[in-house]
Amino acid sequence: MNVNIIHVGDLKEEYYAKAVKEYEKRLCRFCRVKNTEIKEEKLPQSPSDSEINAALEAEGKKILSAIPERSCKIALCVEGKQLSSEELAAVIENAEKDVTFIIGSSHGLSEQVKAASDLRLSISKMTFPHRLMRVILAEQIYRAFSINAGKSYHK
């Protein structure tokens, strides 16, 4: 199985990058992980709603073009459904194709990306920096594969 992670923006902080790499290293026994970085659109210091929407649409077009064909698309967004780790494991296990997770910028994702997704997923009602979300997501993907493999890591 291929797990694709499409994310807007890079990991500037070395400690986040190291954490993501560690989980990706652990995941290599279960799947192939591919990260696709979408460049974040430039916005002024205090952008208007229309400037934010234009940036999200531009990022959204790039995201949609980067999604592999025949992939189960999971968009991370605040209004998404909250799942337990076991429920996420079941989503991954039941996917009849590769899985693509999509993380937007600090302003979120465009409506086009959300509409094209098979699942809108909310990690928590709390707000996290989108760069930290890459670490949290990598850990949860690893946890899901561990659950599906019957490993004790997830407890």
Kindly report, residue by residue over 40-62, the tens digit of the pLDDT. 999 999 999 999 999 999 999 99
Residue 131 located in a structural domain: yes
Domain that holds residue 42: 2-148
The CATH number linked to 95 is 3.40.1280.10
Which residues lie below 8 Å from residue 110, measured CB to CB, with a gap of 6+? Answer: 53, 56, 57, 59, 60, 63, 104
pLDDT of residue 56: 98
Residue 153 located in a structural domain: no
Global confidence as pTM: 0.95
- Reported confidence tier of residue 155, pLDDT bands at 50, 70, 90: low
Closest to 87 measured CA to CA, from 140, 19, 129, 37:
140
Tokens matching residue 155:
């407890």
pLDDT of residue 154: 60
Residue 132 located in a structural domain: yes
Residue 112 located in a structural domain: yes
Residue 127 located in a structural domain: yes
Three-state DSSP class for residue 2? strand
Residue 46 located in a structural domain: yes
Amino acid at 11: L
Tokens matching residue 84:
């337990």
Give the count of domains, the chain: 1
Residue 154 located in a structural domain: no
pLDDT tens, 107-154?
A: 999 999 999 999 999 999 998 888 899 999 999 999 999 999 999 876
Residue 97 located in a structural domain: yes
Residue 96 pLDDT exceeds 90: no
Q: What is the DSSP string of 76-129?
A: EEEEEEE--HHHHHHHHHH-SSEEEEEE-BTTB--HHHHHH-SEEEES-SS---
